[in-house]
Structure formats: C-alpha cells, structure tokens
Amino acid sequence: MLQIPWGAWRRYGTILLVSVAAVILYAYIDLSYSLPWNPDRPSLPMFPAAPLAKACDGALPPSADVNASPIPNLVHYIWLLGDPAVLSFDFKVFISVYSAHLFFRPDKIYFHTDASPELWERTKASGSDWSRRVLNIPGVEPKYVDNPRLTTSGVEIDTFGAKSDFIRAYALRDLGGIYLDVDAIPLRDVAPLRRSGFANVVGGATALAPKHTGYVNTGVWLSRPHSNLAVIFAEAMDAFYNGVWAISVGILTDLAYRLHAVPGEVLIMNPRAFAPASFELADTIRLFRPYRDAAPLLSQGDGDNADDGLPKQLSNTCADALAWLQQREHAPETWKMDFSATYVLHAFDDDAAKVGGGWDGKITLSYVLARQSNYARAVYPAIRHAIKAGVIPVEETT
C-alpha cells in the first residue's frame, strides 16, 4: 500500500487550497485585472487628437438652453444583408421596432439597409410573418445605403458590427434622432430626454467585471443633427478604425467624456437608463432565465396594467415611485429586476443558449407571454398591445 508522508499531504493540501481559493477569487473579482504585477489594469481608452485637428471647425457654440430645438423624433436601425437575395426579420426585431413605434410615437422609423428596393417591397408584401409585421409597422421606411468597406486610409471594414458603427455615425450626423440596436427594447418614451436641451444623450454601460467598467453603451444614442459629438465621432471612426472589434465603444466613451464639459453637448445617463444589464453571462442568466413559479400577473411597477389598451408609463410621479418601493418591501422577490428607471432595455442575448432553467434560448411569442423572466415581463406590455391591435393574431397566442 502506498504511503504518503504527512509532510507531502500538508504540501499538496496547501497547494490545493490555494488553487481553489484562486479560482474563487478570480470568478468573483476578476484577478487578471487586479493583481499588482499585472500592467494591464482597467483604464478607459484615449485617442490622440491630432487626426481630428479640424474636427471642431464649424462647431456649434456652447449652449445649455432647455428651449433649444429638441432631438428629432426619428428612430434609426441598421440592417445589412449577408445574402443580397434575403431580407428577413424575426420576433426579436419585431419586439424592438413595435416598442419604438408604441412608446416613442416617432415621425419615422428608418432601416438603413443595403437591401434593394425590389427586395424590400417584396418582403413587405410576401415575406415571412414577422418580416411583414416589422415592415408594415407605421412609419417604417428604408434608407438605402452603400455597404461601407474601406476607411479613407484603406483599412478594411470587414464585420457587420463595424459597418453598423460607421452607418449610425452618418445617420445621426446627417439626420439626428434615436439610434437603437435591434436588441434594444424601448420601455417608455424618451421625449423628456429629447427635450432636455442637450444635443446628445448617451448612457453608461453596466459591467460586472472591472475591465468592462466606465464605458458608454453604443447601442442607444440620441443626437441632434450635426451635433459636435456626432460629427467628431464620424471622423474619429474613419481615423482610428483598425479592424479591432468594438473600437467604437472606446471612441464614443472617450469623446462623450471629453465633450461632457461643453454646456449642453452631452448628457450621460446612469447605466439603468439604457443598459440595466451587461453582456456578461451572469446578467444574461438574470435577465432571460425563466422562473417557473413566477406569479402570472404583474403589478404596474413591472410594466403590466389593467385592460386599458396602452401600456402605462412607469414611475411618472413621486407617488408612483413610492408605490413601487412599497410593493417591493411587502413582496420581495430577489430574482426580479427593477426597470422603473429604464427608458430602453439593451438586452444582450448572445449567450442565451447557456441560460438554462429549462429554456432553449429562443425568444418566442410563447416565451414572452409566459412572463416568467425579467426580459419577458419587461417587453410584455408592447406585445400585449400588438395582440389587442390585431397586429399579432390572437390564434397565435394559444
């Protein structure tokens, strides 16, 4: 029988305990970004001003006038084709676009797309169910754009995400309005923000790991046309894009904080306003996991209402806010997320398949109607309205 000396047990036991402790610490505090000998501590990116030397030429004078022209009530989405013969939208896109139509009541909802006019009209008339429903939402119109492929210095723009960054820059610079990623779901009207007197409104990004903290969320952005931030961002993307994924996040963060000091230029909202959950797996689970024992009916604070047709705005008054707090005190449910301060829910679902809880990771009509997850409860009022309005046939809900 093999005999292991006591000293060896102590030595190996110590190593094992230290290893387990390191794994636990790494999981909870992200040691890779906090060890004193690691030179890559988290810090916000900064970009040199030299390539943008003339970016402020013709810049508007500082102003914090609340009576200034509001940000236009135009919504911008971007939809580039992987296959030039296929234009198709799913239920997730419908949720965002219908919610924008319902809550914002915009003048137009533009899809900046490289789809041909013929393909657009054909899909609108005879595409898949959700494609037709998206394209027939009032106000939805195409804005035909060229697919950006190269910067002026010859750097290839080779991903859909990067192409979208360039197109949103041009859309907000030239037209102004509200840019939304297709996974960003409006939950209430942003009119108070559009009329705040600021030329731009952006929001912080929620982060769990230290390396992701301090950034601005690029998935929701409100801007006046030709605002300084929009103009400079467009030039900065062309100057600094180097093929690195999501460099736009760093660029917008750097510019937003630099211009934050200019009166009336940039309002930076708390992360809860546009991105109450991060893209990290723990938040994905919290947002999307179904809780099978969840109560089927919701209170006003969760976004549900009496049968009054339109969803009620959340926490419009001091009394509304206090009523929500009182309800949470009497019936606390630790898994529930509070969206009472959220204008737009940027719902990252890239890791939805890993959520578990008996869910297959697919956002479907039945998943939303069950209202067993934070996401489903948040977006349910708009879907309920679409059913009442006949946009979604009642027979599909059974």
Q: What is the pLDDT of residue 330?
A: 64
**The predicted structure's pLDDT at residue 385:** 95
How many CB atoms are located within 10 Å of the residue 168 CB? 27
Q: Higher confidence at residue 43 or residue 289? A: 289
Distance from C-alpha of 113 to C-alpha of 77, rounded to nearest angstrom: 9
CATH architecture of the domain with range 68-273: Alpha-Beta Complex (3.90)
Q: Which residues pair with 142 in a beta bridge?
A: 111
Burial class (CB in 10 A: 0-12, 13-18, 19+), 396: exposed
3-state secondary structure 358-397: CCCCCCCHHHHHHCCCHHHHHHHHHHHHHHHCCCCCHHHH
What local confidence, expressed as pLDDT, does residue 58 receive?
A: 72
Max CA distance (Å), the chain:
87
Tell me, what's the pLDDT at 12?
Answer: 65
50 vs 383: which has the higher pLDDT: 383
Tell me the domain boundaries of the chain.
68-273, 281-393
Q: What pLDDT, in 10s, does the model give residues 80-123? A: 999 999 999 999 999 999 999 999 999 999 999 999 999 999 99
At 44, the pLDDT band (50, 70, 90 cuts) reads: low
Strands (DSSP E) found in the chain? 74-79, 108-113, 140-144, 177-180, 184-186, 200-204, 216-223, 266-269, 344-346
Contact at 8 Å (CB) between 50 and 44? no
Q: What is the reported pLDDT for 35?
A: 44
Find the mean pLDDT for residues 25-35: 50
pTM, to two decimals: 0.84
How distant, in Å, are the alpha carbons of 13, 14, 314, 329, 334 from that of 19?
A: 10, 9, 48, 41, 31
**Tens digit of pLDDT for each residue in 194-244?**
999 999 999 999 988 888 889 999 999 999 999 999 999 999 999 999 998
- Residue of higher predicted confidence among 369 and 30: 369
268 CB-near residues (< 8 Å, 6+ apart): 202, 203, 204, 216, 256, 257, 260
pLDDT recorded at residue 320: 72
Strand pairing category for 177-180 and 216-223: antiparallel
The DSSP-derived string for 270-337 is: -GGGT-SS-SSHHHHHHHH---TT--SS--GGGT--SS-SSPPPSS-SHHHHHHHHHHHHHS--TT--
pLDDT of 271: 96
Q: Per-residue pLDDT tens for 264-302?
A: 999 999 999 999 999 999 999 999 999 877 665 444 334
Question: Do 103 and 312 meet the contact criterion of CB atoms below 8 Å apart?
Answer: no
In 116-250, DSSP assigns E strands to 140-144, 177-180, 184-186, 200-204, 216-223
